[in-house]
Amino acid sequence: MAYMFYYLYKRRGDGEHLERAFHYLKLAADLRSTSKAKKEVTFLCGDAGFYVLKALCYYEDGNQKKVNYYIDQLKSLGNLKVKSCEILYGWSGYLYSLLLLNKHIPNAIDPTYINTIANKIISLGLNHPSKPPKCPLMYSWPTSSSKYLGAAHGLSGILYHLMHVPGLCDTPKARDLVKGSLDYLKSIVSEGGNWEFFVPQGEKCTTADDDVAQWCHGAVGFTFMWARAYEVFQEKSYLEMAEMCANLTWEKGLIRKGRGLCHGISGNGYVFIELYKLTRKQEYWDKAIQFLAFCWSEQAKEMYTPDCPYSLFEGVAAIPFYVADVLDPLHSWGFPGYGL
């Protein structure tokens, strides 16, 4: 909720939204004070998100002392012992936090520190004990045998954030490792244009998961990786892959799991906002509008109630983000809690 109100403040300039962001951060602080949970490094499921939002809100409020304090708290998380690299619980989620902060507070984090975290992620992927022969980087969560491919827990989400590190892919080693991993993912796509949850047993993904259309697993989440790959490397094949994923999302993306981001209508709709920003093709904006309209349709009443119905990733907190971005897609920050 705090992030939602902060975002609305940045998009609309209404001071009341910033006040509400502070209100929800106070509630979060109260919950944290009574929690016995261990510290976690990520934006979405860890302490980094709290520290980043505190720093961002105090920056808007003009309190530099508080900004510096929460930046130091964020940097201290880099000393934690973390084995995974995925976005929800691992180093990629921490990298996203650093990049998001630097996007809105210039030079808040030293680029050298960001590169240190990125190189840690690359090193862990390079030294994975059971990576496929044709894939230079591979990651697992929560065990070494669970080699996820999707945006939430797997390779595509990690590559997406590595490609946002300024200058990283200009270095020959990182460029070859990232492009080699992209080309591996391109080579294993199923005949239906989708990917399995995990690294396939054979040379290609089967069609078993071709009907899965949600951000966390499969083609929906892959869209953002391919779009970013096209921006970084300017290879047409990556744009073609992104548009293939968007086509699958249009055909199968009106799912019944709610209106949220992770596996819901608004998350799927962000595919079209991403492609509209990338290509300026009107059809993608039109499709984003149609997905928004579906959220209030009669058919939408048949959707399941998510476990966390008011949250950002499962519930209605996603809708204000999506409405703001459908109305003005060219100024969208991308998929909330993930895009940059």
205 in a known ligand binding site: no
CA 188 from centre of chain: 22
Q: Which of 174, 254, 190 is nearest to 222 (CA)?
A: 190
Where do we find the tokens 């708290």? 73
DSSP track, 261-272: STTSHHHHHHHH
Alpha helix (H) ranges present in 40-130? 47-61, 64-76, 91-104, 111-126
245 in a known ligand binding site: no
CA dihedral 132, 138, 139, 144 (to 10 degrees): 30
> How far apart are the C-alpha atoms of 160 and 176, rounded to whole Å?
15
148: β partners: 198
Q: How far are the Cα atoms of 84, 85, 140, 184, 198 from residue 144, in angstroms, in the given order?
A: 10, 12, 5, 19, 12
308 in a known ligand binding site: no
- Residues in the annotated binding site for Zn(2+): 216, 262-263
- Residues in the annotated binding site: 216, 262-263
